[in-house]
Chains A and B, each alone.
Chain A
């Protein structure tokens, strides 16, 4: 008899993994117990950091049968600091460099593939800045499925005067290594629907598999359960689409 999902026993906690350049960084691993082969999910945290709500998402993936690993992208600048303090420090310093992000995701994916019950498949998901970083990772690494939740500045230029050198990355689209699920809010300004439509059109042109959904009555951060932007209808449907998508592409 198959156990109901909510009865899935998991383990979860912080570990150390090798990130970009071999740096030892903190990460949060949540995984089902037992020896059943499992797909892996790299969870890229949003700009506010490696926070409680993000780690809760990692445990949700584990309950649904995936080994989920969330690297703390701010480990280097703020080891041991509270997530909000770490985010403020990294923000003031100009954010996470793209090259380092890709290296950290590569390290997380490698760690997932090294687990004793790994099935060899790894997906990536990220929210907000993590949505853009998910697209970047899926165009830079060999990934099996990617989920971009309202990532901005994939297509559009950042406004003038930004203190960091974040560039549009739509030029990387020919290298997209896997199917892409995009979940967006119709009321979001970054990315606004015209930006996600432009990305979809470019992926169509390139023949890259993708599935985009834009929810009415939802703006940026509609998955964030601890923020006023949370929209229950969009988030519930979005989670169903995420699990259906990973169920298809991360099965052995």
Chain B
């Protein structure tokens, strides 16, 4: 199905797109048809910077197993590092 349901989250960091690195400000997550992955539906994750235009996008199309494993890996990675070391309020 074509879902319009989209989870949006504000993000702080950088991504590398077709034109190189850029700051990312938003991420969207939605289950819909992929453009490239060989499946009928995938979990699609876009990292965006709308202020820089539609081409400022890093896109992923993952199976649900892969997406959930990625979410677990992100949590495991953060938990295993010293608390706050990668925070927006980190000491440098």
Taking beta carbons and an 8 Å cutoff, which residues of A are in contact with B? 47-48, 51, 77-78, 81-82, 84-86, 88-89, 91-92, 94-95, 128-129, 152, 158-159, 161-164, 166, 188-190, 219-221, 227-229
- 13 additional A-B residue pairs with CB within 8 Å, beyond A89-B54, A94-B4, A220-B1: A77-B54, A81-B55, A82-B18, A88-B54, A91-B6, A92-B8, A128-B2, A164-B4, A166-B4, A219-B40, A220-B2, A227-B40, A228-B38
Top 10 A-B pairs, shortest CB-CB distance: A89-B54, A78-B54, A81-B54, A190-B1, A85-B54, A84-B35, A189-B1, A162-B4, A81-B55, A88-B46
Given contacts A81-B54, A81-B55, contact A92 B2 (CB under 8 A): no
Give the size of the chain B interface in residues (CB under 8 angstroms): 24
Chain B residues in the interface with A (C-beta under 8 A): 1-2, 4-6, 8, 18, 26, 28, 30, 32-33, 35, 38-40, 46, 48, 50, 53-55, 57, 59
- From A164, which residue of chain B is reached at the shortest CB distance? B4
**Chain A interface SS verdict (over half):** loop
- Please give, as numbers and ranges, the residues of chain A lying within 8 Å of B38 by CB-CB distance: 228
Chain A proximity of B16: nearest CB distance (Å): 15
- The residue in chain B whose Cβ has the minimal distance to the Cβ of A161 is B5
Cα distance A47–B4 in the bound complex, in angstroms: 10
Known A77-B54, A84-B59, A88-B59: A48·B33 in contact at CB below 8 Å: yes
Given contacts A92-B28, A227-B33, is CB(A85)–CB(B5) below 8 Å? no
